[in-house]
A = this chain, B = another copy of it.
């Protein structure tokens, strides 16, 4: 039997067998978004998919196809919509996609579902999509779906952050295209990282508000919000180890696996 955890790589009888056994389904929610001059546009697809794949292996789960277009990039967390290559969905569109996929999975017998945010801006429209999907499922007579929603980067040990940022962790929002994401990409897709192109125009200094239109110079010209030059694949391994171990633990605990 096919032992892939990628749902897309199963035949339908294989998918059915896994779901009948109670497989947890992970839905990574990504984006096509600038990640600096040194990384490809698919960082927010590669990373959550990679995390999901490893956790799914740990818990006998499946990874549904990653949604590759996300909610609009915001200047303070992703550089904003003005960058070339950032192609985004309206919030309603994104939420409807999540709603429909959640509804579809529920109709196919999935009862344990984990939405894994791979793009900061997806968090809220994903909440709404999940809420709408579960609401529709209840109206269709399916009321026993259990779900989690998480950002993978929140699953990291304090000690790891201390090793990674000896001078103090600047916080996840500024980490766009910076040390954490770059390290994980060096681990998973080093062919899509060019460390020679890591910029040095960060870190961004953002005010405590959003601004329309985005003022000249509000965002570093490179699109990198903090600093990435110290990224290494080894650091990516530290991070990935934490993400996978802690998410695995949480999923097992919540779903009593």
Contacts and interface: CB of A to CB of B under 8 A. Distances in A.
Interface string A85-117: 111111111011101110011001100000000
B74 A127 contact: yes
A164 B57 CA distance: 40
A188 to B, nearest CB: 13
A99 B89 CA distance: 9
B41 A11 contact: yes
Nearest to A207: B250
Interface residues of A, number: 85
Contacts of A88: 100, 104
A200 interface: no
A229 interface: no
A68 B146 contact: no
A87 B64 contact: yes
A11 B197 contact: yes
Given A32-B7, A40-B10, A192-B9, A108 B91 contact: no
B83 A89 contact: no
A11 B254 CA distance: 32
Contacts of A146: 211-213
A138 interface: yes
A93 to B, nearest CB: 4
Interface in A112-138: 123-125, 127-128, 130-132, 134, 138
A115 to B, nearest CB: 9
Contacts of A26: none
A7 B64 CA distance: 22
Given A10-B85, A11-B37, A140-B139, A124 B91 contact: yes
Contacts of A150: 208-210
24 contacts: A7-B32, A11-B38, A12-B37, A12-B84, A65-B68, A66-B68, A69-B101, A72-B127, A72-B131, A87-B101, A89-B96, A89-B101, A91-B91, A91-B92, A91-B125, A93-B100, A125-B128, A139-B140, A147-B211, A147-B212, A154-B209, A209-B250, A209-B254, A211-B254
Interface of A: 2, 7-13, 15-16, 19, 32, 34-42, 45, 64-69, 72, 74, 83-93, 95-97, 99-101, 104-105, 108-109, 123-125, 127-128, 130-132, 134, 138-140, 145-151, 154-155, 192, 194, 197, 207-213, 223, 250, 254
